[in-house]
């Protein structure tokens, strides 16, 4: 049992989750909570090195199964070295993407059998999961055009076909439906300020519930 609180942000390309993760972390810190902002793939130095292999280079340079294995290797380091220790210290950990992204991208997007992904999960992080997950939902074309406007060299996933991005958006919605108590779906076409407020209210509500016996 931990006494911290683990929040993740999920969504397709260009949905604004990284901005919202940062804004939430800043707001909670300013309200006196201790928050740690981190990301996947990455978050610790070994996992950041794995990230470079995953996000740079040609779009077909890795088999989906290679991607999946690298993602779980990075995730195991991240969870054991950073996320769990921070939660055990009573901190709020906010992570930009987590396991649900592997189900959406490698499972629904690339077609790896979801049971195989579940199996890898049970071999590595087992039943460890976020307390709360925000899915920032945005039409695929809007997300892709937002994401291409930013000056970004991490384009391997952005360069996949539109049909890939549609599959992963459907995947995220299905995952959210299957885990409805953990997920909050946010309409990401609203303004940054509106989304920030909605997210903050949900978090403050859940943290209070979490503190009470
Ligand atoms: P991220 O930094 O969140 O990129 P963006 O903000 O552009 O969405 O994630 C990097 C890429 O890694 C992203 O294209 C999605 C991919 N990814 C997976 O395919 N599976 C995973 O499990 C994770 C965590 C990320």
> Is ligand 1 within 6 A of the CB of residue 108?
no
What CA–CA distance (Å, rounded) separates 133 from 180? 10
Supply the residue whose CA is at minimum distance from atom 5 of ligand 1: 13
Would you state the pLDDT for residue 212?
A: 42
3-class SS letters over 76-107: HHHHHHHHHHHHHCCCEEEEECCHHHHHHHHH
The two counts, helices (H) then strands (E), for the chain are: 9, 5
Would you state the pLDDT for residue 153?
A: 65
Handedness of CA 204, 28, 185, 65 (dihedral sign): negative
> Is ligand 1 within 6 A of the CB of residue 23?
no
> Is ligand 1 within 6 A of the CB of residue 102?
yes
pLDDT tens, residue order, the chain (213 aa): 568 999 999 999 899 999 999 999 999 999 999 999 999 999 999 999 999 999 987 878 899 999 999 999 999 999 999 999 999 999 999 999 999 999 999 999 999 999 999 999 999 999 999 999 999 999 999 998 888 777 566 666 667 788 999 999 999 999 999 999 999 999 999 999 999 999 999 999 999 645 544
Supply the residue whose CA is at minimum distance from atom 22 of ligand 1: 102
What CA–CA distance (Å, rounded) separates 8 from 95? 5
Q: Report yes or no: 174 and 167 within 8 Å, Cβ to Cβ.
A: no
What CA–CA distance (Å, rounded) separates 17 from 98? 12
Which ligand 1 atom is the nearest neighbour of the CA of 96? 3
Q: Report yes or no: 9 and 91 within 8 Å, Cβ to Cβ.
A: no
> Is ligand 1 within 6 A of the CB of residue 18?
yes
Pairing between β-strand 183-187 and β-strand 92-96 as defined by DSSP bridges: unpaired
Which ligand 1 atom is the nearest neighbour of the CA of 97? 24
């Amino acid at each position: 049992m931990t006494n911290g609180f683990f929040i993740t942000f999920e969504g397709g390309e260009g949905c604004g989750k990284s901005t919202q993760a940062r804004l939430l972390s800043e707001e909670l810190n300013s309200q006196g909570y201790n928050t740690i902002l981190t990301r996947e793939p990455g978050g610790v130095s070994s996992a950041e090195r794995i990230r470079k292999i995953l996000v740079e280079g040609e779009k077909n340079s890795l088999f989906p199964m290679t991607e999946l294995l690298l993602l779980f290797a990075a995730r195991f380091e991240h969870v054991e070295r950073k996320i769990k220790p921070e939660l055990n210290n009573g901190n709020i950990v906010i992570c930009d993407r987590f396991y649900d992204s592997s189900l959406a991208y490698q499972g629904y997007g690339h077609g790896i059998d979801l049971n195989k992904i579940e199996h890898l999960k049970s071999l590595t992080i087992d039943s460890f999961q976020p307390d709360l997950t925000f899915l920032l939902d945005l039409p695929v074309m809007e997300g892709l055009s937002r994401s291409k406007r930013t000056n970004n060299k991490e384009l391997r996933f952005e360069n996949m076909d539109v049909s890939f991005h549609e599959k992963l958006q459907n995947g995220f919605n299905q995952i959210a439906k299957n885990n409805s108590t953990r997920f909050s779906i946010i309409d990401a076409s609203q303004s940054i300020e509106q989304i920030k407020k909605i997210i903050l209210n949900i978090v403050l509500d859940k943290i209070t519930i979490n503190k009470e016996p």
